[in-house]
Each structure stands twice: as structure tokens, then as C-alpha cells.
Amino acid sequence: MILDTHPALPEFEYIRPANLAEASDFLAQHPDTARPFLGGTDVFVRMRDGFMKPEFLVDVKNLDGTNELRFDSRTGLTVGAAVNMNRVIASPDVQAHYPLLAEACRSVASYQLRTRATIVGNLCNASPAGDTIGACLVFGGVLHLHGVSGPRQEPLSGFFRGPGKTTLKPGDIVTAIHFPIPPNGCVGKYIKLGRNQLSDLSIVGVTALGHKDSTCSSGYRFRLALASVAPVPLMPAEVETYLANNPLTPDAINEAARLASQACSPIDDVRGGARYRRQMVRNLSVKALTEVWKKLD
Amino acid sequence: MAFHKINITINGGLEQVVVPSNMTLMQMLRENLALTGTKNGCSAGECGACTVLLNGEPVNSCMVLAVECDGTNIVTVEGLAGDQQLDPVQEAIIQSGGVQCGFCTPGILISARALLDRNPDPAEEEIREALVGNLCRCTGYVRIIESVKAAAKV
Amino acid sequence: MAEPKVENSTSPVGESKIRIDAREKVTGAAIYADDIQFGNSLLHARIKRSPHPHALIKKINSEKALALPGVKAIVTGQDFPGYIGLYLKDRFFFCRDRVRYVGDPVAGVVAVSEEIAEKALGLIEVEYEILEPVLDPEYGARPEAPLLHPDLGKYAVASFIFPQPGTNISNHFKIRKGDVNGAWEKCTAIVEHKYRIPHIQHVPIEPHIAIAKVDEAGEITLWGSSQSPFAQRNLIAQSLGISPGKMRVIAPYVGGGFGCKAGVSMESLAVAIAMKVKGRPVKLLLTREEEFFTAFVRQGLTAYFKMGCDENGRLLAMENTFYWDGGAYTEYGVNITRAAGYSSSGPYEVPNVKTDSYCVYTNHPVGGAMRGFGMPEIHAGLEQCIDELALRIGMDAVEFRKLNCLKTGSTLVTGSRMHATGLSQCIEKTAEAIGWGKKAPPSAPNKRRGKGMALMWKAPAMPPNAGSSAWVELAEDGTLNVGVGGQEIGQGVFTVAAQMAAAALGVAYESVRIAAPIDTRYSPYEWQTVASRLTWSMGNAIVNAAKDARKQILDIVAEAWDETPDDLNIVNGVVISYKSEKEIPLKNLVIYGLPKPGDQGWRGGPIIGRGSFMPTYVTGLDAETGQGERAVVHYTTGAQAVELEVDLDTGRIEIIKGVSTFDIGKAINPELVEAQMEGGFVQGMSSALFESLQLKDGVLRNPSFVDYRIATSSDIPKDLQSYIVEVPQDDGPWGARGIGEHSMVPTIPAIANAIYDAVGVRLEGPPFTAEKVYLAMLDAGIVK
């Protein structure tokens, strides 16, 4: 309710743990009252709105390895939880090997917000509109987590459970996201349809990644991820399958886009209506897939 | 709620401030240090009026906790000019007529300074993109964009 | 023309001087109301607001809240029985028995911190009896609608506002000119349309703020971000039943106003709360969210237009019905209804006009003044109908406008005559600059390109006797201090005031200071900083004050030199004689006067010039016909055109080019005028493409920048051109008229007409979002 918005941040205790183990323990001991935070760009807004009322904010920046942005030509890219989006955008490794990730980051809000915003924060926030989620999904991101029983890894693909809901358990902290080496010669595209030219949240977001693949009958493999059109970020497998198994033509792309549009379940909200969103999933999927295809050939 | 003692460099001078957990950098600047050039337009990281440089990078100071700034270096609009000389972005926005009500101006100047620091010769598209987080309701942005172009030539 | 006889080669009038306030604004030194330091005595207030659009207050229990440590006092409507309002006194400071919109103030808390005050709000218990709300103005105007103001007949009201007690209609303005019914059969083409204009918000980057302090003797000081310090002094004092002289308003720089800081809004709450904690300053700062749903909004409008022309394209008749969604209180909005009525023909000569403009109470946020004061709303539909009528009759839309637009001496919709106007030149210049008639290919195969134009007119909407005053005085160094009561809200009025004072007195612009902040105790009276009237009205007062000082100076010098004042002049701060070629700097005489020869005493003394201005010629309009001799002081006219592209894949509009041309009489500072045209175009564009307050069952669904989008630096056209036409105003300083608001009036219809040109669809109203445009194209079969 609009009447609940606070003029400033309501009271809470700021906690800065010395290491990940301490952070996990504290969070596990206060499952309902403590929250980890990184840039705070979502948490602070939700606290002012009265949606979140944590008693403790646990600052997990600066903890073991969370500031690391590292590329290894054998294993891939690791983006630490505290690495802000501007750093990702400016990274020569990201620009060289994962330009789609930089493109997605660059579409988020404003430069000064991206000084604070992080990819891991964007993932943990689990908004269906999260701009970087699509790129993380199509690159096959793997989450590095730290919980009460120590570190572990989870694929991003099963992470989202609903708007704002993830598989994270009390005490879990995402320390980084890792991406394997992308397929050779792959091309990506993120199309974000916002109300403004830049800076807005997406009404619809379409992420496409494609590469040539002689193991499938069409000779191409595509991944498509959709934002703001379902309770969770969507990566419709039927699109991937269809484009792998049918000769790549404009008609095939139209059909794949139709499948994408069918796979989503958009709602009417202040940003846009369901009917429009479904249409846009189709049109923008055609656009993104076609653009990727053209660059591949 | 706990209070924290922090040491922070602001516009070149070292300050020690005691801040509660929930105090933002913006509140600390305006309320504790009377640096009121940094403006509060939305307290939600959307309008950019409170933009300052944190270790050389622009941030919405309403979206940063003061306690997080222990040991950092902050530059506000009050710290842009030298002893006698305005920063080129300040001089250019005056000459270009990019100031009207002036409330967004401090944040605009910080964003512009940060842009020119990382990219001394930005294209118009890059200027527009760098200012997208600074809302202005008066000018229509035209003269602000012109002023950044002019400042880049200095 | 009130041009002073100054042969001054260094006159800054007409020059694009650097803004007088620029330097302090770029260094962070400029003080806005929230920047004033009050020290430890400062208390903070928050407001308990109604969650219901319409309900009766049964009980308020604030005991628990009062018991919270740090809470100093709680105020409710029971404490303040006086009504307040600008043209119609229809609201209380705090609701007394009934709430009428979501956000209506029910109680105020003052505490040692904002946080404690906020906590206390949650402890105040309010019991409501929920009533059926009115959420549509057309429905609200009907007899069966629930009555929102049963006491409408008892409210004090200005003589030119016509409420209808027993209904929700708080003003009904009528035009009955000629014979509309008889004219329709003579028309070759007739168009009829309905448009809906949504509520929008002003969105100054500085939210509303007020700090109030009441001393033991009951003297009140109010610091605020205000376009109307003098009106606030008068209205708040009246409502409290105290003498306005006991109220002092101090108004530093305003961080954007656009009308929402005109009149009285939340300032009265701060004053009311401060009365409970005498001796302590109390600060009330609206959150951005509150700014969206509790500050004055631009009223919504449902408008019906019918217009017809003969076979030559000459306009014969118009019939317009406007239902203004005035919101919970229409104390200011009633006059928007009136202005829309007397401007309802648009800038056209139409022999037969029938207009009904209704201001209707609804359970929506409170409507108030916003840049354009009703004109963007009515022009939005009117100028689309003009395009359609031109199309029906087979005429080019620009030719149609040139044929029908107002010329000097045309008969206006109110029966009076148009003063000298350059509207035709504005049309020609705009058409030329946009490349009218030439169609450029779109930038991509999936895009369609179009051009559109729209005209506008607007008069300052104000009481007939709204006045201005000014003083000038000189310091020992000969610099000029100019006292004004008009506010610097970003438009540049302090700069223009300094230029006019310098020119009228004969000193350098650089030697002028404006006595700021505006303080009703020290500054000269000004009605309000609204209506784009300051350059003209306050400008006249400044010129009069400078002339007064000038006469005093020249009389002294003439006497000393044994010459006549006619042979003297003041140039660049020096009095010179064309006869004897003597000269003396002002600084040598403006404080201490001049010695008489032989130690025989002195002449003169400190120089202080005074001036005022009030239009005395504005007459009323007949309540039944809306006809009268001279209802307004003048009309500023102009034209805008846009070129845009529609993306067929998404419906997204990109404005490629914008052109504005306005006849402003005389540009005192051409760059400032252009800056107003640019800023107004972009605000108009923003309202056309992005903005609407999404109200559902009376609740605002987008009360933040996240979901109430305004134009950013990425959205503006690459090419934005502004042109000035100067056909002088007979009673303006150097011939000047206003420009501040006008620049956003024609933007919505110019864009709508360009969309139609590009893809052939018309929408019921703005914003022309990508979604609405796309779905319209889809439904029309333009896209699949």
C-alpha cells in the first residue's frame, strides 16, 4: 500500500561479518529477521516501501572472494557477488568472451546505480524482470554458494521459484556466479523493451544466444530467455529444440517465436498488459533470433 | 540501534562521523555535515539528485549506507571547484544555459565529471547514456548535453 | 508600450545574459528550503492519511501515539475548523468528518525525529465508515452520483466561479456565441470526437517541503518551496482567523514548481502542527511517493468536441463539453475549468461556439494548477479535430490552420477582439523548419515516419486585479538591489528582472542583485508566480520602480548642475549630460546625495524607487453566455511541429525532430526564452509518451519514479529547434508577453497528428505508449 512508504530507511542493525562462515551462521541463526545485502539497490527500496522489514542487514561484500572478477581460458568466467555491473561492463575479458553479459548489465537502470548493483544481487532478487538473468541463463551460469555446511555449487537454471523466491535456504550466501567457456563463435543479443529508451525496467526482455553446431540437424543451436512474461525468468526448451531440429529459415524463426510466445504466461501490470507482452515476445524473439542468425552466417 | 564511528575523506578533508546503521550517505552529508549541495529528490535511487563520487565512481548517495563508507573518499558538488576555478563541467553548464531550477544540477555535474574522467571525449550517445540516471524536469536536457560536450573540449 | 525612454547603448534587454543564479546553483551554494539549518530545536512532522477514497471519519484515537517517547503533539481536523482555498474555500487543513481521496490528511504527528513521527502514525487508530466513491467526472456530474460536498452552497467563492450546490459540479462555465444549432446545417464537414486526458503529476525534482514556526505571541513564520508566498500568507492566515500581517513566509529557491507549489497545499499542515509546539520549528517534507499522490495533480479531462467548416474550409461552429476530474477539492481547479471555457475555441476565429466546461468533484487526488493551466488538456483533442476536419474537407492541415487562425483584430470566442498577434508567422516558421509537405523515408523497413503540427493560445488565468510591485535601491558602490516578490522557480525570472531593472535605470546587468530569498516581510507584494505573468506584470512594476529611482537621481543632478533632467541620461552607472558633457558616477550621489557649493548643505539622499502594476481593464464575462469586453490581459500564441517514427514491431514512438515557434512580444533574454521552449517541449513530449497517474478504485498504482516514467536524457529528439516571433504587447515591458507554460501546450496533439500521419491511427488519449500504439495498429490491421 502506498501509505506505508517510509521517508527514509527504517531501523535495522548493520552487521559486517568477518568471514563467510560467520555470515552464514548469523543468517542461519536469524532466518526470519536477517538478510544478506550487496549493493542494496533492491533491499533498500523494499525496506522503504515496507515490503521487507529485516532487523539485521548482513553486509556480504568484501568477504572471501566476492570481489573477484576472473577469467580462465579453460574454465570460464567467475563474477564475484560484490563485483558491480560497471566493472563487468568495463572488463576486457567480459567484452571479449561474454559481450552479451556486458550488454545486459548496460541495460540496467543508470550508471550510478550500476556502481552499486551487482549481477548476483540481480539474481537473488529473483525479479522476473531482472535484466541480467537471461544472459546468465543462456551462458549456463552456475552459482557458487556458501551455507552453514560450507561451500557448494548449484546450476542457475533451477534457482528461481517465483517472483522474489529462490532455492536459497537460511544461511545461504551466493558468493559468485560462474560461467563456462561459451560455445565457439557464439553470438548473443539482448532486446529490452522499456517505456523509456534507456534505464527503465523491462516490459518484455528477450535474450538470445546462438552458435553453429554440427551435432544438430539444423546446424545451429539457440537458447532463448524471456524476462517479465512469467512468474520466473523463462528459458523455453521447445524453442531450442525446434530450431535445432528444423532447417533454419525465416519461417522457422517465426515458428520458434510463436512457441516462445506460447510458453510465456504474462500478466497485466502497471508496465504493460498481457496481450501486448505476448505479442512482444513473438516480435522481439523474431528480431533477436534473426539478428543472431545473421551474425552467425 | 547501534551507532558506528566512521572515518571518511570528504572533498579532500578527513572527517569523523558517528552514524546510526540506517543512515544513508545522503543523510549524513546533508544532516551531519551540512553539505546540502547534494539533494534529496526521491530517496530511492531513481532521480540522481543525490549523486556523489564514492572512491571516484558516481553513486546515488541515498542508496549507500553511511556506515559502508568508512575509509572511503567522497566528492560532492561542493568539492568540484578548485580554490578560485570552477570545474570545466560547472563552467560549461553555466555558459550553455543548462541550469534552470538547479535542483538536479549538483547530481548532473557529478555524473558529467565522472563520465569525462573515464571517457574524456564522449560521443553524444555516451553523454545521454551517462546522464540517464539524472532526471531533470526543467531543461529538456538539451543544454545539459551541450554543456558536457563543451566541457570535454576544455 | 511601457518602454522607458533610455537611449542606452549598453541596454541588456534583448541580450542572452548569463543567469544571475547560475554560479551558486553549480557550486551547491544555492539554498533551497530543505537546506536551511534550524539546529537542534527542529521537530519533524508526518501525516496520517486516508486509505479510502471516500469515507466518514467515525473516531480517531491517538492516545497510543501520544504515549510514544519523542512524540510532541498530534493534530486532527477537530483543532482547525476554518476552510481554505484559492477560488473556492472547500477544504479543511485536516479532514474533520469526511475523507475524500486516498491520501487525504487525517492527523499530523510532530516528534523529535522523522522516524518517531513515522512510527507514531502506525499507532493512530482511525475508524471509518466507507462510502461509495465517485471515480469518473462524467458520472460525478450526474444527479444520481453520491454527493461529495453537501456544503458546497455554503463555501465562499470568487465572483467569477459558478458552483451548483446539490451536485458535484463546483463550476459550470458556459460559452454561448452565435447560433451553433443553426450553423451545423451550413457545414460541409463535421467531426466529432471524445478524448480522455489522464491525470498527470508535475514532478519537480525537489519535493514539497515546509517548515513552520509559531512564536509565543502567535506570529507565524513559514519557510517553504513556494510559488505563492504572498497568497499563502493571506490564505493560511484567513483560514486560521488571524491577521495576515502576523504571518511571514520566507521562500528560497524553488527546485521546480510547474504549478504544484502554487496556492496552498501541504504548507497549511506544517503551520497547523507548529501551532501545537510553539517556539519550535516543524519540518514537513513529502516523500517522493507522497509527492505523487498527495500534491496537486493535473486534473483529468473527458472532452467532447464537435466542429464543422464550410466548403472552403472556414470554421463555422464548435460545440465542446468538458468534464474536469477536479478531485476531492477544486479550490484551484475551478479556475482551470473557466480558463478552458474562455479558450475553448483554440486559437481560431469561430462565429458560433457553444461550450460547457464542468469542474466535477471526484474521489481522486486534488487537481491544481499545472504548466498550461488546462490548455494542454483541451488542445490535445481540439488540435486533432482540426487535423481531421482539414482532411475531411481535403485541405492541407497547415493551410487550414492559416486560414482559420486568429489574426490581429479577430473576434474571439468571448466576443472581444484579438490584440496584435504573430500567430500566422509562427505557423509559417514552424512549417518551414519541420519541412512540411516533404516526406523523408523511414530509417528502417520496420518503421513508419510522420509529421504533425498543432497550434496553441493561452492567456494568464488569474483574478482580474492580480498585482505586482517592486523596489530598487542603490548601494554605496552604485550597485543596484532589486526587490521583487516573484519567485525564481527555474524559469529565469531573477535574471530577466535584473536585465529589465538595469536597462530601465541605466546600469550594467552585472551590477544588479536580486533581494532574495523572497520574504513577505521585506519583499514587495506579488500575487503569485504563476500564469507566465511575471516578465510582463512584475516586469512592468520593475520598470516603474526603476523609472521612479531614475527620476529622483536626474532631478538631483539637474538641480546641482543647473540643467534640465531631459538633457541628462544614465549610461552604465554614470549620469551624463548631453548638454554640458559633465558626468558623475551613481555611486557618488545615491546614498549621501550631493553637496551644495560653498558648504551650504546637501541635496538628495538615499535613492529608493518604487513601482507597481496591476491590470485595471479586465472585465467580467456574462455568466450565461461567456461574452465580455476583455476577459484576459493577453494571449500568447504559437505552433509546434514534430517528426517522428513509429516502430511497427513494438509500437514505440521515437521523436526525431521538434520545432517550436511562439510569439512572445519581445524576448528580454532570447536564450532563456529558447530554454523555456526546449524544456516545455520535452515536458509536453513526456506527457504525450509516458505519463499518467494510474488510478484504480481511487488508489494510485504508480507512485514512484520506477513506474511513473518521465523523459530522460535518452528520450529527447536529436534535433530540437526553437524560434521567436516578436509582435509587441501594447502593455508589456519592451512589448514582452509570457512563454513559460505555453511551450508544452501543443505538444500532445502535434505528436498525435504525426502518429496519424505515420500509421493512420488515433488514440482516445495520451500517453501514446508503445503498447497503446501497437495494439491500435493491431486492431486496425496495420500489423499482424
Which domains are seen in chain C, by residue range? 1-30+480-530+534-632 (3.30.365.10), 33-131+203-294 (3.90.1170.50), 297-461+633-779 (3.30.365.10)
What is the separation of C-alpha C654 from the centre of its chain, rounded to a whole number of angstroms? 28
Distance between CA atoms of residues C220 and A13, nearest Å: 40
Strand C297-298 vs strand C574-577: parallel, antiparallel, or unpaired?
A: unpaired
Task: Name the neighbours of A, counting chains with at least 3 Cβ pairs within 8 A.
Answer: B, C
Return the H-helix or E-strand segment holding A252. helix A250-263
Write out the three cell numbers for A219. Answer: 546446424
Distance between CA atoms of residues C344 and C322, nearest Å: 9
Residue located via cell numbers 547534494? B38
Write out the three cell numbers for A63. Answer: 568477504
SS3 A138: helix
Q: Is A6 on the interface with C (CB under 8 A)?
A: yes
Q: Are C316 and C351 in contact (CB under 8 A)?
A: yes
SS3 C602: strand
Distance between CA atoms of residues C551 and B78, nearest Å: 44
Residue located via cell numbers 527503465? A200
- Domain A69-179 sits in CATH at 3.30.465.10
Averaged pLDDT, C539-550: 98
Cβ separation of B63 and A41 shorter than 8 Å? yes
Instruction: Write the pLDDT tens digit of every residue in C46-79.
Output: 999 999 999 999 999 999 999 999 999 999 999 9
Instruction: Write the pLDDT tens digit of every residue in A76-97.
Output: 999 999 999 999 999 999 999 9
* DSSP output for C77-124: GGG---EE-SSB--EESS-SSEE-STT-EEEEEEESSHHHHHHHHHH-
Distance between CA atoms of residues C338 and C86, nearest Å: 14
As a whole number of angstroms, the longest Cα–Cα distance in chain C is: 98
Give C190's strand partners.
Answer: C308
Distance between CA atoms of residues A35 and A141, nearest Å: 23
Residue located via cell numbers 481560431? C348
The angle subtended at Cα C539 by Cα C536 and Cα C544, nearest 5°, is 125
- Give the per-residue pLDDT at C554: 98
- Give the per-residue pLDDT at C10: 65
Distance between CA atoms of residues C528 and C525, nearest Å: 9
C137 to chain A, minimum CA–CA distance in Å? 23
- Domain B88-152 sits in CATH at 1.10.150.120
Residues 6+ apart with CB under 8 A from A5: A48, A49, A50, C287, C289, C290, C703
* DSSP output for A189-244: EEEEE-SSSSSSPPSEEEEEEEEE-TTSTTSEEEEEEEESSSSS-B--HHHHHHHH
Write out the three cell numbers for C441. Answer: 523515408
Write out the three cell numbers for A246. Answer: 528444423
Averaged pLDDT, B54-58: 98
Averaged pLDDT, C725-750: 98
CATH 3.30.390.50 residue ranges in chain A?
187-296
Residues 6+ apart with CB under 8 A from C226: C232, C249, C251, C254, C261, C267, C487
Exposure of C521 by Cβ count < 10 A (0-12 exposed, 13-18 middle, 19+ buried)? exposed
Fold of B3-79: Ubiquitin-like (UB roll) (3.10.20)
Distance between CA atoms of residues A290 and C485, nearest Å: 62
- What are A's interface residues with B at a Cβ cutoff of 8 A? 7-14, 39-41, 44-45, 48, 57, 59, 61, 86, 109-113, 115-116, 196, 198-199
Distance between CA atoms of residues C120 and C109, nearest Å: 7
Q: What residues of chain A lie within 8 A of the CB of B60, using their CB?
A: 112-113, 116
Q: Are C718 and C443 in contact (CB under 8 A)?
A: no
Return the H-helix or E-strand segment holding C212. strand C209-214
Q: What residues of chain B lie within 8 A of the CB of A113, using their CB?
A: 45, 60, 63, 133
CATH class, domain A187-296, is: alpha beta
Which of C27, C205, C677 has the highest number of chain B CBs within 10 A, making it the mutation to test binding with B? C205
Write out the three cell numbers for B143. Answer: 543544454
Instruction: Write the pLDDT tens digit of every residue in A227-242.
Output: 999 999 999 999 999 9
CATH 3.30.43.10 residue ranges in chain A?
2-59
Torsion angle in degrees (nearest 10) through CA of C7, C11, C13, C15: 140
Considering chain A, what is the average pLDDT of its residues? 97
Q: Is C29 on the interface with B (CB under 8 A)?
A: yes
> Which residues of C are tagged catalytic?
741
Residue located via cell numbers 516578436? C726
Considering chain C, what is the average pLDDT of its residues? 97
Distance between CA atoms of residues C49 and C748, nearest Å: 34
Q: Does residue C652 register a pLDDT over 60?
A: yes
Residues 6+ apart with CB under 8 A from C527: C230, C231, C462, C463, C466, C467, C468, C537
Cβ separation of A10 and C103 shorter than 8 Å? no
Instruction: Write the pLDDT tens digit of every residue in C111-166.
Output: 999 999 999 999 999 999 999 999 999 999 999 999 999 999 999 999 999 999 99
Across the interface, which of C34, C490, C704 has its CB nearest the CB of B138?
Answer: C490
CATH 3.10.20.30 residue ranges in chain B?
3-79
The ipTM of this complex is 0.99
Tell me the residue ranges of DSSP E strands in C498-652. 512-514, 518-519, 568-571, 574-577, 583-585, 594-595, 602-603, 608-613, 636-647
What CA–CA distances, in Å, run from C569 to C378, C439, C581? Answer: 49, 56, 11
Q: What residues of chain A lie within 8 A of the CB of B114, using their CB?
A: 111-112
Q: Are C316 and C308 in contact (CB under 8 A)?
A: yes
- Give the per-residue pLDDT at A2: 78
Q: What percent of chain C has pLDDT over 90?
A: 99
C312 — pLDDT class (breaks 50, 70, 90)? very high
Instruction: Write the pLDDT tens digit of every residue in C428-473.
Output: 999 999 999 999 999 999 999 999 999 999 999 999 999 999 999 9
Cβ separation of A86 and B60 shorter than 8 Å? no
Give C574's strand partners.
Answer: C571, C585
Secondary structure of chain A: what % helix, strand, coil (to 5)?
35, 25, 40
- Say how many CA atoms lie within 13 Å of C284 toward its Cβ: 26
Cβ separation of A116 and B4 shorter than 8 Å? no
Backbone angles phi, psi at C309, to 5 degrees: -135, 165
Q: What residues of chain C lie within 8 A of the CB of B30, using their CB?
A: 34-35
Instruction: Write the pLDDT tens digit of every residue in A144-179.
Output: 999 999 999 999 999 999 999 999 999 999 999 999
Instruction: Write the pLDDT tens digit of every residue in A18-70.
Output: 999 999 999 999 999 999 999 999 999 999 999 999 999 999 998 999 999 99
CATH 1.10.150.120 residue ranges in chain B?
88-152
Q: Are C136 and C362 in contact (CB under 8 A)?
A: yes
Write out the three cell numbers for C234. Answer: 493571506
Q: For residue A141, which of A90, A100, A110 has the smallest C-alpha distance?
A: A100
B127 to chain C, minimum CA–CA distance in Å? 9
What is the separation of C-alpha B112 from the centre of its chain, rounded to a whole number of angstroms? 9
Among chain C residues, CA nearest to A275: C775
User: A8-11 — which CB contacts under 8 Å span 24+ positions?
Assistant: A8/A48, A8/B22, A8/B24, A8/B27, A8/B43, A8/C114, A8/C115, A9/A44, A9/A47, A9/A48, A9/B22, A9/B23, A9/B24, A10/A47, A10/A48, A10/A53, A10/B22, A10/C115, A10/C118, A11/B1, A11/B20, A11/B21, A11/B22, A11/C115
- Give the per-residue pLDDT at B84: 85
Q: Does residue C578 register a pLDDT over 60?
A: yes
Cβ separation of C690 and A7 shorter than 8 Å? no
Which of 30-89 (C) contact A at CB < 8 A? 46, 49, 51
Cβ separation of B46 and C706 shorter than 8 Å? yes
C2 — pLDDT class (breaks 50, 70, 90)? very low
Instruction: Write the pLDDT tens digit of every residue in A232-268.
Output: 999 999 999 999 999 999 999 999 999 999 999 999 9
Residue C428's CB is within 10 A of a number of other CB atoms, namely 17
Q: For the domain with range A2-59, which CATH number is right: 3.40.630.10, 3.30.43.10, 3.40.190.10, 3.40.50.740? A: 3.30.43.10
Q: What is the CA radius of gyration of chain C?
A: 27
Task: Name the neighbours of C, counting chains with at least 3 Cβ pairs within 8 A.
Answer: A, B
Q: What residues of chain C lie within 8 A of the CB of B129, using their CB?
A: 713-714
Q: Is C128 on the interface with A (CB under 8 A)?
A: no
Write out the three cell numbers for B38. Answer: 547534494
